[in-house]
Structure 1
Amino acid sequence: MSLYQKMLVFYAVMAAIACLITWFLSHDKKRIRFLSAILVGAT
């Protein structure tokens, strides 16, 4: 794997972790929780 691919995998894993944390910390309706988790994960 090249350095670029390793960085891509790293960012994907970090986005997934941020997404999960946001999902479990938010206490809104499921649709809002899903949307906020996706947005936080994407950034």
Structure 2
Amino acid sequence: YRNCQTYKIEKAYCMYDNTIMLPCSVNLTDEEINSVLMRLKNG
């Protein structure tokens, strides 16, 4: 990433602050999925 732009990325910060990152893997157990769902439900 050395040659990637690292300026004029103000919108990236806004997007980061307003994005929900959810775990997504085919290896998630039912227990892990339920844990994620409960946390979403309870805020």
TM bucket normalised to smaller: 0.3 to 0.5
The structure with higher relative contact order (CA 8 Å, sep 6+) is 1
Give 1 or 2 for the bigger CA radius of gyration.
2
Give the structure-1-normalised TM-score: 0.36
